[in-house]
């Protein structure tokens, strides 16, 4: 069955797809010079840590592109291991950003133990590591929603599958790949499929899901990021017997959501004593955005009131 192909771009996009006449929906993302490269190039992360941060950003784009409201989603992993926190964020306008905080000595120890092999999640985040998917509405009257699962599987994708199984009761399969391409450039790809629950019209969807899982299992890491393999051709290769309806793509780009107003709101929630310890000799607070590195200089009075 031929594939339905809307207008499409080759990279820095996300898109949804539906397997024809099957209770299976999916999403795909590819990122490069306009999105994942500037995010990873902005910070001097070890290569394997940069890969995992890229996976978090890709996962945020996969999940966030399905949101039915205006807002953003954060994929946040944290624990007491060598990596303290790792965040990927996607806004419904198409912006992505990310950063990681880690202990250099702890990371060096992992690299010695693994001898170049990719680390698994418990190594990075410790036994208390957890993955949170946080959905934040632009409407301030709506409280954020957060689902949390342990980071006890080998990969971030496997932990995300656990999130959907446990928090959403939606069987899902996810594949992510991030690789350097030379000269400071990075490429990133991700795909997920999800089972639609059976009902009176669809009947039992178990067999269709098993078939889709088997086909998805043939997807390789290299295919996710192969510049010579357009996503339209990749989906046709995977599901050509059933046919695929691919929705119009959405552009994804490197875009930080930090601004002075949001920063002031955050700072005003901190104790005055903590803020005053950060005051520069000239009476200002010097703050750098952890995501994009943008520098803010704010009078302490704008946050707390006069300093005596």
Lowest mean pLDDT among 61-65, 255-259, 280-284: 280-284
Number of domains in the chain: 2
Q: Please report whether residue 87 resides in a domain.
A: yes
Q: How far apart are CA 163 and CA 174, in angstroms?
A: 11
Same domain, 298 and 215: no
Q: Please report whether residue 5 resides in a domain.
A: no
| Number of Cβ atoms within 10 Å of the Cβ of 219 | 18
- The C-alpha angle 291, 74, 293, rounded to 5 degrees, equals 5
Same domain, 60 and 146: yes
Give the torsion through C-alpha atoms of 40, 41, 46, 52, to 10 deg. Answer: 10
Residue whose C-alpha is closest to residue 58's, from 225, 237, 172 = 225
Same domain, 181 and 223: yes
Q: Residue 283 maps to which CATH number?
A: 3.90.1280.10
Which pLDDT tens digit goes with each residue over 16-39? 999 988 899 999 999 999 999 999
- What mean pLDDT is reported for the chain? 89
Q: What is the pLDDT of residue 305?
A: 54
Q: Which residue range(s) make up the domain with 61?
A: 13-254
Instruction: Choose one of 220, 237, 254: the last residue of a domain.
Output: 254
Q: How far apart are CA 57 and CA 92, in angstroms?
A: 13
Q: Is the confidence at residue 152, as pLDDT, over 70?
A: yes
Same domain, 144 and 265: no
Q: How far apart are CA 90 and CA 250, in angstroms?
A: 12
Q: Is the confidence at residue 2, as pLDDT, over 50?
A: no
Same domain, 273 and 201: no
CB 18 within 8 A of CB 28: no
Q: Please report whether residue 3 resides in a domain.
A: no
pTM (2 decimals)? 0.89
Over residues 47-60, mean pLDDT: 97
Q: Please report whether residue 171 resides in a domain.
A: yes
| Number of Cβ atoms within 10 Å of the Cβ of 177 | 23
Same domain, 199 and 291: no
Q: What is the pLDDT of residue 308?
A: 46
Same domain, 177 and 51: yes
Same domain, 187 and 220: yes
pLDDT band of residue 79 (cuts 50, 70, 90) is very high
pLDDT exceeding 90 applies to what percent of the chain?
Answer: 66
Same domain, 222 and 156: yes
Over residues 262-270, mean pLDDT: 77
Q: Is the confidence at residue 266, as pLDDT, over 80?
A: no
Q: Please report whether residue 2 resides in a domain.
A: no
Residue reference for tokens 């000239």: 282
Q: Please report whether residue 308 resides in a domain.
A: no
Q: Please report whether residue 7 resides in a domain.
A: no
Same domain, 192 and 290: no
Same domain, 273 and 188: no
Same domain, 166 and 297: no
Q: Please report whether residue 66 resides in a domain.
A: yes
């Amino acid at each position: 069955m031929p594939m339905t192909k809307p207008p499409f771009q080759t990279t820095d996009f996300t898109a949804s797809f539906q397997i024809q006449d099957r209770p299976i929906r999916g999403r795909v993302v590819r990122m490069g010079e306009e999105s994942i490269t500037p995010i990873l190039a902005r910070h001097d992360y070890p290569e394997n840590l940069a890969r995992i941060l890229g996976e978090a950003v890709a996962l945020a784009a996969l999940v966030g592109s399905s949101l039915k409201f205006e807002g953003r989603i954060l994929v946040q992993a944290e624990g007491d291991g060598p990596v303290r926190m790792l965040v990927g964020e996607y806004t419904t306008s198409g912006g992505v950003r990310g950063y990681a905080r880690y202990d250099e000595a702890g990371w060096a120890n992992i690299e010695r133990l693994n001898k170049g092999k990719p680390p698994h999640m418990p190594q990075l985040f410790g036994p208390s590591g957890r993955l949170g998917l946080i959905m934040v509405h632009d409407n301030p009257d709506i409280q954020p929603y957060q689902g949390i699962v342990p980071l006890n599987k080998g990969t971030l994708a496997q932990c995300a599958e656990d999130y959907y199984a446990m928090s959403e009761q939606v069987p899902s399969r996810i594949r992510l790949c991030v690789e350097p391409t030379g000269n400071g450039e990075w490429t990133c790809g991700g795909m997920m499929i999800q089972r639609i629950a059976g009902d009176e019209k669809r009947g039992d969807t178990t067999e269709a899901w098993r078939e889709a899982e088997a086909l998805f299992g043939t997807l390789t890491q290299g295919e996710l990021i192969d510049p010579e393999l357009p996503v339209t051709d990749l989906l046709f290769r995977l599901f050509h017997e059933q046919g695929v309806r691919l929705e119009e793509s959405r552009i994804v780009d490197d875009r930080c959501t930090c601004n002075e107003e949001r920063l002031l709101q955050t700072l005003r929630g901190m104790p005055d004593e903590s803020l005053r310890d950060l005051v520069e000799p000239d009476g200002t607070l010097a703050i750098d955005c952890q995501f994009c590195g943008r520098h803010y200089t704010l009078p302490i009075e704008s946050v707390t009131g006069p300093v005596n």
